[in-house]
Amino acid sequence: PISNIQSPSFFIASRAHHADVGGMAPGSLPLSTEIYQEGVIIPPVKLYAGGALVEGVQRLILRNVRTPEERRGDLAAQRAAHAVGERRLHELVERFGPEEVLAYAAHLQDYSERLTRAAIRTWPDGAYTFRDVIEFVENGKTTLVPIQVTAHIHGEEVTFDFAGTAPAIHGSLNAPISVTQSACYYVVRCLAGDAIPVNGGCFAPVHVTAPEGCLVHAQPPAAVAGGNVETSQRITDAVLGALAQALPDQVPAAGQGTMNNVTMGGLTGAGEPWAYYETLGGGMGAHPAGDGLSGAHVHMSNTLNTPVEALEMAYPLRLVRYGLRRGSGGTGRHRGGDGLVREYELLGDTTVTVLSERRVVGPWGLAGGQNGAPGRNVLIHRDGREEELPSKFTRRLRAGERLRIETPGGGGWGTDE
């Protein structure tokens, strides 16, 4: 309890990237078919109790990952962040009193809700439907799987209905409903304006429905690792595509629509395990006011590129090429941003998993703008021969082989005059 608040009223929370949490492939983004293959499953359990580390819980977690010392450090960093948050919240309560803090927390949520409702009220009422696809790869063959959403705008509320979306698949692209809700909330936040404080009040007028068991409302034990990092992007694209029909002067064309997840791992020369994970930027969609950015992380990837020097110092990898993929943005009155080219040389035998999207169908343009170029994943063998790889694969690659990732360009906006 904080001060004389006798029941829990606040929780200090953090979200952090852990490069490996176990599972069937280094980096924990495998081509899984059930959740048990994706890493250690941790139910709500205390890692600290009474301010002290629960050693047994930490040992259980670290025993199930490939790089335990990295994870130990990441967990300690999160605990330190929580300590700072806890201290500052105590200071706030001591300064203003618990009743005042709780009252203003409620006022702030009410304020955010009023502003969000006011923004939605300016949107034209109606039902707007859009369908996009994700790329399901099985045995090297790609199948396009639809995600469909209808945005129902009525007064100061909006409902996103995903009826018409495909059933859950036998792969990792399934998304739990929480991911679907988060993507919808994100889009509304983008369109409602930056001045609105982010809290639960923002989401009170936003409703999300989806058939239970469909791709965007998956049920256990469905695999979901790709749903969090890739399907979330396509849900966002679909929702933006629907709202573009209502708000044509506010919504951009599709961005690259993928995080281009690259995970690698193996053993160092000293026999120590290593695991590496990064996401790659691409083209941002053009918009009514201008061109899209090039080489940018789009939507919810929440990461930046790994500097070349840091990567080469820490891992048995060499970057032989890194730059913009010129001409990959869709043309139009405003041009979509260009993607990136990033080429890795493997200095030792390495297991590589790539989980990417938009390798078959490029990001869509709007208002007559052209689609951005689809991405490419290319394996360059030691004899120089190039092999085109699908959007999702796990391969054991040999020292001296190279992997080139070409990320998608953003869609163009408007007719090219």
Regarding whether 155 and 44 lie in a shared domain, the answer is no
Verify that 76 and 22 share a domain, yes or no: yes
Is 262 within the bounds of a domain? yes
Tell me, yes or no, whether 245 and 136 share the same domain. Answer: yes
Residues 342 and 290 in one domain: yes
Q: Does the residue 352 lie in any domain?
A: yes
pLDDT of residue 102: 92
Looking at residue 108, what is its pLDDT?
97
Q: Is the pLDDT of residue 269 over 90?
A: no
Domain annotation covers residue 23 = yes
- 244 and 332: one domain? no
- Residue 98 phi/psi, 5-degree rounding, is -65, -40
Give the end of a domain, one of 199, 222, 251: 251
Torsion of CA 128, 224, 299, 390, to 10 degrees: -100
Specify whether 136 is located in the same domain as 90: no
Same domain, 280 and 394: yes
pLDDT in tens, 297-352: 999 877 788 899 999 999 999 999 999 999 999 999 999 999 999 999 999 999 99
Q: Say if residue 23's pLDDT is above 80.
A: yes
3-state secondary structure the chain: CCCCCCCCCCCCCCCCCCCCCCCCCCCCCCCCCCHHHCCCCCCCCCCEECCEECHHHHHHHHCCCCCHHHHHHHHHHHHHHHHHHHHHHHHHHHHHCHHHHHHHHHHHHHHHHHHHHHHHHCCCCEEEEEEEEEEEEECCEEEEEEEEEEEEEECCEEEEECCCCCECCCCCCCCCHHHHHHHHHHHHHHHHCCCCCCCHHHHCCEEEECCCCECCCCCCCCCCHHHHHHHHHHHHHHHHHHHHHHCCCCCCCCCCCCCCEEEEEEECCCCCEEEEEECCCECCCCECCECCCCCECCCCCCCCCCCHHHHHHHCCEEEEEEEEECCCCCCCCECCCCEEEEEEEECCCEEEEEECCCCCCCCCCECCCCCCCCCEEEEECCCCCEEEECCEEEEEECCCCEEEEECCCCCCECCCC
Q: Structure tokens of 167?
A: 């059933």
Is the full-model pTM beyond 0.85? Answer: yes
Average pLDDT of the residues in 207-227:
97
Q: If you average pLDDT over residues 57-70, what whole number do you get? A: 95
226 and 258 part of one domain: no
Mean pLDDT score of the chain, rounded to an integer? 95
Edge-to-edge strands of the sheet including 376-380? 317-325, 339-346, 402-406, 376-380, 386-389
Answer yes or no: is 324 within a domain: yes
pLDDT tens, position by position, 41-62: 999 999 999 889 999 999 999 9
Does 85 map to a domain?
yes
Q: What is the mean pLDDT of residues 7-34?
A: 89
**Quick one: pLDDT at residue 19?**
85
Residue 3 pLDDT greater than 70, yes or no: no
199 lies in the same domain as 87: no
pLDDT for res 285: 98
| Mean pLDDT value across residues 272-277 | 91
Residues 401 and 267 in one domain: yes
Supply the range of the domain harboring residue 34: 1-96
Which of 209, 229, 251 is where one domain is finished?
Answer: 251
Q: Given pLDDT bands bounded at 50, 70 and 90, which one contains residue 196?
A: very high
pLDDT at residue 1, as a whole number: 45
Of 66, 96, 126, the one marking the end of a domain is 96
**Helix 68-96 × helix 55-62 angle, to 10°:** 140
Q: Is residue 266 part of a domain?
A: yes
Mean pLDDT, residues 357-378: 98
Q: State what percent of residues in the chain have pLDDT above 90.
A: 88
Mean pLDDT of 174-196: 96
User: Is the same domain home to 242 and 308?
Assistant: no
pLDDT number for residue 22: 93
Question: With bands split at pLDDT 50, 70 and 90, how would you rate the model's confidence at 4?
Answer: low
Number of domains in the chain: 3
Residue 105 counted as domain residue: no
Query: What pLDDT was estimated at residue 171?
Result: 95
Are residues 334 and 300 located together in one domain of the fold?
yes
Strand-pair category, 48-49 with 392-397: unpaired
Q: Is residue 103 part of a domain?
A: no
Distance (Å, whole) CA 201 – CA 223: 31
- Check residue 2 and give its pLDDT: 52
